[in-house]
Structure 1
């Protein structure tokens, strides 16, 4: 037997199962012992532990059908495009849900163990993982109404007849916090008559009942399947809502954190090289709580970053972004953050609660709406509606259409340089690689505001755009790949490296990065405004830069000094290797 089964990890799991399931704990341990051998996954106890990330680590976020080509499945087209254009520039591919689904662009899963045949096969998924680390979604809060599990529940068939949460519509559930404004409970027909089931996200996405250990073990089995197919990062979708307890917010409950710890411990047993990434689009302090004490997620999204960068570039003020960045605590050892600006979802607004005031938030929302974006609402405690997320592509959110194309491209790339320079692992949404525009036609067709940022491409059309010397898409594409190339060449950008924010005056964001070894330091400075600004002599001297020295690593050119100060053009970012 694997020696881990007599290990401290198993003792921890025994305690976790007791806290979750009481007298069922021993049975849970026995089930786990049988489960872990099912897919032939076993930790290599003799292998030297490898660092999970470095300055070359970067993710692309993409749907499996983001690209279409002739005579092949979309996953094969995607692999060919990534192999040709991004190998060596990004290390991982986050392949958004690639399973049969009924709604929400993949996040209402009909069958967890199958690949959507419209996309390809498990062989195609595994092929992607040969050159890139594969990140896969574990959609564990809910399942499609069209799934076999829910069909069995409706017909009273074991074990799924206990997989879902029934509730009394007359019960007081007003304290429940939700990211949607749709009804919390949905009436469904069952063999026993009408029932009301818990639906946090939509009537098609039925929440699973984690108070039943059978549900957890179904999910553990699926987790191990994904690892056996090559997954190296497991994204826990909507994990904050897992455990329900009437009378509470049903958000971040202790039992939810305990389940994340169970998943982490199971990985420690059989796949310690696999990382957990939690998706919790909530205020910053709540978000980073999923690090636990270094015993929950390896990675959490830096959800406050996108709206703060957006606010800085739209307002011309770096005060809120700098104050937040300067106050960030170090992640626990072995943990890091995932930095991003855009994703398949919208730009969340809950994470900046308390970071900018209500007037600034209202102004930001108005700016986005004026430029063609939308705002989606969620329900807070008591059922009050409040803005939940901005829906727009990053380019249109940042620019609208009022600026010349070259200025829009420069502003866009500078915003990405901020994200790429910060401590953590960067994640880039596929459509941001070349600055896609809002897809109003798709949003009208689907009725989903998020579709503004979910354009799918004919691969030949996209290839023409990124090779057209007059196209904005090419300027952004080449600029973005250049930023990734420079970042990967400098150990100062290691996710574990030190980060120090500097006071460069409002309108300029400046911080230093240092390699964990101490062998390299980098000064990153960005002018978020439309007027020329400078880096003063005192700041530069403190960094060890003498007038007339140094070079910009991005442009690969000498620095533009003006006396003992450095000039920053509008929307310019400098990365300066320090002596």
Structure 2
């Protein structure tokens, strides 16, 4: 009598998947032993869960706020407590997720040169503060995986020739040909340092205080997985893999987006989802659009990727009054498979990247955009090229100031233009992420930029909680106007099934002054036509051009206008948005 084959256990399936990943990354190591070590470090030998493939871990109610731990300050309490209080006061039932940028002890780069991955910087709070925030919001945190601070104990040990750390950092012969290496900075790539009794050159993608880790050593991977497990225990649900595109290096290559890097992302995905099937990975890859899309893999790498092309393309459309490039880009974007989606943002702690529009905007168009931003008080950061020259890498400016006018100069439409930008972000396929400073209309902080000595500080103001609360109560301030108009739009978005991150999206063609697209809910019951006038002149749209189904009733969600005559037309005032739906 034949017996049916025994079904593999979740643990056995996990072990095989890990071995498959490790065969690509570490072909010369014993993959079975290393897989078992990873299982033990992640404590999956105690609790191993079964993730469901292609499961959406989000819906239309998901909205993220992005902030530093010390953006909100208050007397007599740690910044994390002040931030938690501010979030609960203003964003309960509005925003359900918070990305707290690195909150660890650090030596530079506002947190991204981590001295100790396992401690909360005592200047901002402790792990109990993080746990409390994670009970009220989905918590997103950075795994600063490519590099650590030159003050990290690992690097101190490296310089002394001791372990752990002696073999944790990527070193290279300075005589090697490194001309093809792609990186986002103009500082020298290599730094000569002592290593016991010898001198070695360590690899520094981002600067000499941020030393690149060497993932060719599997012990480095085990260290990072141990850190990842801690973050899970501390309530982190969303993991932002910082600068992950640069993770693996091969001399003679570009040292970006290598196959081993992709396989490492797939490995981390496997570990995380077997520990918590509701956890999410977001890859931070500020690179050209096609390369960025590759981090979805086959729905087996990142759950979400940053839509890095959106900020510069949208900014360009709003200051030029021409949305051709934005439309062309939107039409080229593939729908995300179920279980994956885009992370949309238009402002962040970093600048507005220009690499993601390479091949999308001409050099002349980029130069016009840069000149306009400089006219509005913005600064430009640069990256090094193979030939020793430099190229603009990002624009550093607060988004509110970036939208104070057009290429023709400043005008009276700053607020309307700013709200329009966020209305577009809220309606697009994907999960919207609001930089906290955008939600309250923060302007350029020139004093902070001068004090810190780097351009990005222009958009990293710290607010006293009493001061920003006072501004948010003052109906005459632009902070109040920004905050309450955005609150209204966020509330509307959260109630529309057609704004599910994976709902259908089609680009509409209504001329170069109107950026328009159509969303349809996954059950096909709700349609929303999203019309955005990106110019400083009124635009008229015949309703017949939308092909509205005449048997349905249609309404603009934002201003509650109803449409009955399908032969009529509607007018969009400068920078006005219309969300026209058949279900409300």
TM-score (ref. length: structure 2)? 0.95
Correspondence list, 1:96-107, <5 A: 96-107=101-112
Provide the rounded CA distance (Å) in 2 between the counterparts of 1:383 and 1:334: 42
Q: 1:175·1:382 contact (CA, 8 Å) conserved in 2?
A: no
Provide the rounded CA distance (Å) in 1 between the counterparts of 2:559 and 2:218: 56
Q: Does 1:493 align with 2:504?
A: no
Shift of 1:561: 8.6
Which residue of the other structure, out of 432, 438, 446, is the alignment partner of 1:426?
432
Q: Does 1:17 align with 2:22?
A: yes
Q: 1:102·1:144 contact (CA, 8 Å) conserved in 2?
A: yes
2:534 is matched with 528
For the structure 1 residues 244 and 121, does the alpha-carbon distance in structure 2 shift closer, same or farther, using more than 3 Å as the test? same
Q: Cα deviations across residues 384-439 of structure 1 (Å, max 9, x unaligned)? A: 3111111001111121596566x211110011000110000000000000211111
* Corresponding residue SS for 1:495: coil
Correspondence list, 1:434-453, <5 A: 434-453=440-459
Q: 2:556·2:562 contact (CA, 8 Å) conserved in 1?
A: yes
Q: Cα deviations across residues 531-552 of structure 1 (Å, max 9, x unaligned)? A: 0001124323x132699x6332
For the structure 1 residues 360 and 45, does the alpha-carbon distance in structure 2 shift closer, same or farther, using more than 3 Å as the test? closer
Provide the rounded CA distance (Å) in 1 between the counterparts of 2:52 and 2:143: 27
* Corresponding residue SS for 2:487: helix
TM-score (ref. length: structure 1)? 0.95
Provide the rounded CA distance (Å) in 2 between the counterparts of 1:560 and 1:448: 55
* Corresponding residue SS for 1:202: coil
Q: Cα deviations across residues 542-577 of structure 1 (Å, max 9, x unaligned)? A: 132699x63321223446999721100001001111
Shift of 1:23: 3.5
Q: Cα deviations across residues 342-389 of structure 1 (Å, max 9, x unaligned)? A: 000001101011111111111111111111101111123444311111
1:30 is matched with 36
Q: Cα deviations across residues 56-98 of structure 1 (Å, max 9, x unaligned)? A: 0010000000101111111011111111110111111001000
For the structure 1 residues 81 and 559, does the alpha-carbon distance in structure 2 shift closer, same or farther, using more than 3 Å as the test? farther
For the structure 1 residues 499 and 47, does the alpha-carbon distance in structure 2 shift closer, same or farther, using more than 3 Å as the test? closer
1:484 is matched with 490
For the structure 1 residues 346 and 449, does the alpha-carbon distance in structure 2 shift closer, same or farther, using more than 3 Å as the test? same
Shift of 1:11: 1.1
Shift of 1:483: 0.8
Q: Does 1:574 align with 2:573?
A: no
* Corresponding residue SS for 1:166: coil
For the structure 1 residues 155 and 560, does the alpha-carbon distance in structure 2 shift closer, same or farther, using more than 3 Å as the test? farther
Shift of 1:190: 2.8
Aligned length: 573
* Corresponding residue SS for 2:166: helix
Q: 1:532·1:568 contact (CA, 8 Å) conserved in 2?
A: yes
Shift of 1:18: 1.8
Q: Does 1:131 align with 2:154?
A: no
Provide the rounded CA distance (Å) in 2 between the counterparts of 1:527 and 1:430: 25
Provide the rounded CA distance (Å) in 1 between the counterparts of 2:565 and 2:107: 58
Shift of 1:46: 11
1:93 is matched with 98
1:556 is matched with 560
Q: 1:249·1:381 contact (CA, 8 Å) conserved in 2?
A: no
Compare 15-24 and 73-82 and name the one that shifted more. 15-24
Provide the rounded CA distance (Å) in 2 between the counterparts of 1:477 and 1:345: 21
Q: Does 1:502 align with 2:508?
A: yes
Which residue of the other structure, out of 355, 358, 362, is the alignment partner of 1:353?
358
* Corresponding residue SS for 1:571: coil
Q: 1:312·1:318 contact (CA, 8 Å) conserved in 2?
A: yes
Q: Cα deviations across residues 141-165 of structure 1 (Å, max 9, x unaligned)? A: 0000000010111111123100001
1:147 is matched with 152
Which residue of the other structure, out of 474, 477, 486, is the alignment partner of 1:471?
477
* Corresponding residue SS for 2:26: helix
Provide the rounded CA distance (Å) in 2 between the counterparts of 1:41 and 1:142: 30
2:523 is matched with 517
Provide the rounded CA distance (Å) in 2 between the counterparts of 1:545 and 1:135: 44
Q: 2:54·2:339 contact (CA, 8 Å) conserved in 1?
A: no
Provide the rounded CA distance (Å) in 2 between the counterparts of 1:87 and 1:518: 30
Provide the rounded CA distance (Å) in 2 between the counterparts of 1:578 and 1:504: 20
1:265 is matched with 270
Q: 2:404·2:411 contact (CA, 8 Å) conserved in 1?
A: no
Shift of 1:182: 0.4
Compare 556-565 and 486-495 and name the one that shifted more. 556-565
1:454 is matched with 460
Provide the rounded CA distance (Å) in 2 between the counterparts of 1:355 and 1:49: 31
Provide the rounded CA distance (Å) in 1 between the counterparts of 2:537 and 2:28: 67
Provide the rounded CA distance (Å) in 1 between the counterparts of 2:398 and 2:123: 26
2:83 is matched with 78
Correspondence list, 1:198-237, <5 A: 198-237=203-242
Q: Does 1:391 align with 2:396?
A: yes
Q: Cα deviations across residues 189-241 of structure 1 (Å, max 9, x unaligned)? A: 23223221000001000000000000011001111110111111000000000
